[in-house]
Structure 1
Amino acid sequence: MQILIPVDGTDASKRALDFAIDMAVGMGGSLHVVHFTNQATDATEAILDDARERLASADIPDEPELTTITVDVWNADRVGEEILDTVDKHGYDHVVMGHHEDGPVERAVFGSAAETVLRAEVVPMTVVP
């Protein structure tokens, strides 16, 4: 099983990565950790460093892949579309994403990348709160 796990540095994303690691170990799967951004910064490296630390402490059968993908337009719907494009290009079997609770203002402004992927119904998905 090939699992795609988008990370963004939030607590929900970190919980999702931990879940995906357990899933990969339990099912003998492989992981591709990806961070979508509109500009690589020190925060990008901090997010990937955290992911590297979590992955290093696990006994994952295949070497996990970590990448950053730059997105021109930065909003949740666009990130969701990029995730779906990545799934399509690489044939991932499963997506694991974190989702944090939003208030009505945050929801109206930011939307939800997880919701975009879930509604597309093109790949099995686990949403970790």
Structure 2
Amino acid sequence: MSTHVLVPMDYSEGSRHALERALTDLPDAEVTVLHVVDFRSSDLGPGGFGTANAWEDWYEAAEAHAEKLLDEAHDIAAEHDRDVATATVVGEDTRSILDYIDEHDVDHVYIGSHGRSGIERVLLGSVAETIVRRAPVPVTVVR
């Protein structure tokens, strides 16, 4: 039985390191790289103050940016003589990752840490920390 590993990937070095570690640590695993387009990152998202056209323009730009990121994930996998599946979802980061785990029979998560500590972590929150606490599967946090 093959292990299905999820690697949530954003634009941080930590997420790139998490992908590299997953590919190295679990050479026989099926790896899926997930990028979440978080609509809260723009005041033009749902409930924002932008026009419909502004929302569509934002979404198209976000999707194009995500596509470049996932192309990078494929390049990283190729450097390890591996292939990865990729997916993009729109939503809130933490909830979207947890939903993906539940809906796609994920066995393990490798997630990058931004390395925040102290007051910065308290004020900004931590997607990785929440995934560790709430995921129904083992989670490896990579710095």
Structure 1 and Structure 2 fold alike (TM over 0.5)? yes
CA–CA distance in structure 2, aligned partners of residues 118 and 83 of structure 1: 11
In structure 1, how many angstroms separate the alpha carbons of the residues matched to 2:13 and 2:121?
18
* 2:78 counterpart letter in structure 1: A
Deviation at 1:88, TM superposition (A): 0.7
CA displacement, residues 21-70 of structure 1 (integer Å, 9 cap, x when unaligned): 11231xx111000100134244323311211110122233xx42111111
* Structure 1: 5+ residue stretches without partners: 72-77
Does 2:91 correspond to 1:85?
no
Alignment of 1:1-129 (within 5 A): 1-25=3-27, 28-38=28-38, 39=59, 40-60=62-82, 63-71=83-91, 78-104=92-118, 106-129=120-143
* Number of equivalences: 119
Structure with larger Rg:
2
Compute the RMSD of aligned alpha carbons: 1.8
Structure-1-length-normalised TM-score: 0.81
Q: 1:109 Cα shift?
A: 4.2
Give TM-score, length-normalised by structure 2. 0.74
Name stretches of at least 5 consecutive residues in structure 2 with no aligned partner. 39-58
Find the aligned partners of 1:47 and 1:104 in 2 and give their Cα distance. 29
